[in-house]
Amino acid sequence: MAFAIRATQRVLRRTGSNAATDVAPPTTALGDWYVNLLHIGNTQLVLCTSERSLLSVVLPARRLKMELHPRLCAAVGELLLHLKVPNNQITRELAEMEAATLTRTANRSVLGSMNDFAILIEAAFRVRPPSSLGALSVELAGVPCSPLRPGQDLGFPDRVARRLLGAVDSAAG
């Protein structure tokens, strides 16, 4: 029961934490979570993105050192609930997320997708600030993304996440 929180240098500096060097493969269906700090005007946010699905949650950047892991888990649970993932699958994923190791990023494709999400988040704040960060996370879940592995089709994070979690996706065409 474990996964890695793969933080950018900005996040590692902000938390004052050292990155672990020995990281076990994730036991979670959604894989490791990548974390980056965003500055949008006077607002500081944290973008967290699943390595396997590109499902993303946006969190306030306050108290990262103490609260990043529990707030990430809570936000993932809320987003999965909103995406109508069955409760037993949400419970199983959150149980697997119980233990986390903070380490460095390792997948440049995920970081590239996160850069695209950051542009979308900044545009959303300029045009029409989201009603909540949870609503913003729901919007990001429906953004088409390039595949992370050759041979995959264009994916939508919400659909990929549901498939990885074993949920039947009736919305997919």
Q: What is the pLDDT of residues 99-116, one digit of tens each?
A: 999 999 999 999 999 999
The CATH code of the domain that includes 119 is: 3.30.420
For the stretch 106-162, pLDDT in tens is 999 999 999 999 999 999 999 988 889 999 999 999 999 987 666 666 789 999 999
For the stretch 46-80, pLDDT in tens is 999 999 999 999 999 998 888 999 999 999 999 99
CB 51 within 8 A of CB 33: yes
Domain count, the chain: 1
Residue 119 falls within a domain, yes or no? yes
Per DSSP, helices labelled H in the chain are 9-15, 64-82, 87-96, 108-127, 133-141, 157-164
Residue 169 falls within a domain, yes or no? no
Segments forming the whole domain that contains residue 13: 3-164
Residue 171 falls within a domain, yes or no? no
Residue 75 falls within a domain, yes or no? yes
pLDDT bracket for residue 168 (50, 70, 90): low
Within 13 Å, how many C-alpha atoms sit on residue 115's CB side?
Answer: 7
Residue 79 falls within a domain, yes or no? yes
Within 13 Å, how many C-alpha atoms sit on residue 91's CB side?
Answer: 3
- This prediction has a pTM of 0.93
Question: What would you measure as the largest C-alpha separation in the chain, in angstroms?
Answer: 45
pLDDT at residue 152 in the model: 64
- Mean pLDDT, rounded, for 7-23: 93
